[in-house]
Amino acid sequence: MKKVLIIDDEIDICMMLKAYLQKNNFEVNYACSLKDGLQNLGKTSPDYLILDNNLPDGLGVSSIKKIKSQSPNTFIIMLSAMTSVKNTAIENGVDYFLKKPFRLNEINQILNFGQK
């Protein structure tokens, strides 16, 4: 079973994604802060990371290189309403950028694209 880690401070998004992904046979963990997410990343070694950009304790885009060095094989999907960070996110190693709001089927398509 593939593992997904969600780092997003909006609990509704975490719960919606968790329920949807579990129905699609993914093991899902989530964190609502960058600090907790990075700790979880080291413990769970997820196949996929769904990363929000605007978090209470920092910007996801500023942590991409650290995430890639800690977990180089994790496929990173960045979520953000701010498309202005897309180029920086991709330059720093994000595998896919998805603009908020998004549809659940978009997540499924991306995860199928990023299958390992």
Q: Read off the CATH number of the domain in which 57 is found.
A: 3.40.50.2300
Which pLDDT score, from 0 to 100, does residue 95 have?
A: 95
Question: Of how many residues is the chain composed?
Answer: 116
Give me the average pLDDT of each 10-residue run along the chain (116 residues). Answer: 96 96 95 95 93 95 93 95 93 94 91 68
Q: How many CB atoms lie within 10 A of CB 32?
A: 19
Which pLDDT score, from 0 to 100, does residue 115 have?
A: 57
Q: Which domain holds residue 87?
A: 2-113
- How many domains is the chain partitioned into structurally? 1
Which pLDDT score, from 0 to 100, does residue 97 have?
A: 96
Q: Between 104-113 and 11-23, two packed helices, what is the crossing angle to 10 degrees?
A: 60
Model's pTM, two decimal places?
0.94
Q: Are strands 54-55 and 58-59 parallel, antiparallel or unpaired?
A: antiparallel
Among 113, 115, 78, CA closest to 99:
78
Q: How many CA atoms lie within 13 A of 60 on its CB side?
A: 29
